[in-house]
Amino acid sequence: MRKRSKGGGIRGASDFSCCGTRLPCGAPRVASSRLIARINRRLRAGSNSPRGEKPNIPADALKEKKKRERKGDMRKIKRGRKKEVIIAVILVTAVFVLMWGIRPWKTRPSAQGGSVGQVVPVPQTRRALDGVFVEKEKENPAIAGVMIENVVEAQPLSGIAQARQVFEAVTEANITRFLAYFVLPPSPAPTAVVAPSPARGEGISGQFPSPRGRGEGEGNIEIGPVRSARPYFLDWASEFDTLYGHVGSSPAAYELLRKKGVEGLYDFDQWYRSEYFFTKAGRAKPHHLYTSAELLGMAHAKELTPSNSPLERGRNETISSPLQGEVRRGFNSWQFKNDASPDLRGNVTDVRVGYVAPYNVQWKYDSQANEYGRLQWARPSTQGGSVGQGGPHKDANGKPIIAKNIAVAFMEMKVLDKIGRKEFTTIGEGKGLVFQDGRVVVGTWKKPAARERMRFYDGQGNEVLFNAGITWVEIVPKGYEVKY
């Protein structure tokens, strides 16, 4: 083997031989000067460092080396980021393709007839009786009118606070009486034990079930005390083409109902339909006869519908009934609106209807709730009229009587006999007032015929739009005062 030079390098090409350790046997003896220089540099670097330690690399070479290493690292980082970007693009593309195939934003019919991918609002419309919003096809539910007394001895009344429309008018002895309309529950199944004919004085035991609501103004409602019919109430009942519940009649009303017949109402007299009425324990006669919205709903389904299902009334149709022959179904609704906004509500807060005390009525307006609360029983004065403020009029459940609209119709009234039976001019027109939203509309009422709805118009002849909700119609004899 050849010896190294003093510097530890190779002297020349002759240093290589077929038996040396630098090149394999048989390798050519000629090495390029560049290769020799490279080997010498490595040898010199190694000879200056102790065994096991790193070579002593010059600072410039080390800086150059680190620069090259940084460049290499940057290339690796860039290659890694490029791969990440490519993977992200692939994933986003795959998700987009998948979502495009599903397209959840596009509605699709479901098995239940709805749609998948969006919340579908329930279509709503105004209910014909009171204008409140209900689901489509529920705007004409079964309804019924019932005669309810208001005499002092009959208080507290049942169900009157849940009636959706009420007519109030004077009867004998200047006592007011109500024709109240209720929305009937759709189910005909009774929850109360119905007694045999209450006309024979038989009653039922136990407590009548509490009203259970199925919506605004719906549910099983105990109604009473139920009292007798009067002729002028028949004209208002003829507007609705439905059950007219009562217990007996005055002679004139009996003549109309049982002998002549009244078009547009179904005479539902307790004398002939006692199974739908009951006597209430603890109430003295004649204030003991009651019915309920559920019992009337059963009667409505049985008597007015051929297939024993709830009546689906349509305007200008006719049906046959064992109660009243062939008549039109349905009724023409009033026009309704939403409540006025608070800034548009007025300051007419006190309405007093001058019926004879103690049946004089006061309606107090609540601006925040936009409704009127009924008060009754103002103390009579010795000089006539009344002094002081009556108390809130509440039903048997303690529920106060409230209304969204108070309509007043001034009508001609006559006293027919010594008993004090009355007659009102119900067909035609006259002065009318409508209280709503804390304001008063001064105009007229019109009723062209018994079958036609009584409507109210403002001073310009435009029909009044009622607030959705409960309406009370006060029939006031001409000469009586309404103060506000």
The amino acid at residue 482 is V
Q: What percent of the chain has pLDDT over 90?
A: 55
Element (H, E) at 98: helix 59-102
Determine the Cα–Cα distance for residues 484 and 466; give it in Å rounded to an integer: 19
Average pLDDT over residues 452-478: 97
Q: Specify the higher pLDDT residue, 99 or 355.
A: 355
249: how many CB neighbours lie within 10 A of its CB? 22
Residue 101's pLDDT band (cuts 50, 70, 90): low
Average pLDDT over residues 5-29: 47
Peptide bond into 231 cis (omega under 30): no
Give the model's pLDDT for residue 42: 62
**Whether residue 424 has pLDDT greater than 90:** yes
Give the model's pLDDT for residue 83: 76
Q: Which domains does the chain have, with CATH numbers?
A: 128-484 (3.50.90.10)
**Whether residue 308 has pLDDT greater than 60:** no
**Whether residue 139 has pLDDT greater than 80:** yes
Residue 482's pLDDT band (cuts 50, 70, 90): very high
Give the model's pLDDT for residue 206: 32
pTM confidence score: 0.68
Closest CA to 473 of 215, 72, 482, 313: 482
Average pLDDT of the chain is 78
Give the model's pLDDT for residue 94: 79
Give the model's pLDDT for residue 106: 53
Residues 45-92 pLDDT 10s: 555 555 545 555 566 666 666 666 666 666 767 676 777 778 888 888
**Whether residue 383 has pLDDT greater than 60:** no
Residue 17's pLDDT band (cuts 50, 70, 90): very low
Determine the Cα–Cα distance for residues 53 and 451; give it in Å rounded to an integer: 118
Residue 217's pLDDT band (cuts 50, 70, 90): low
Average pLDDT over residues 110-115: 46
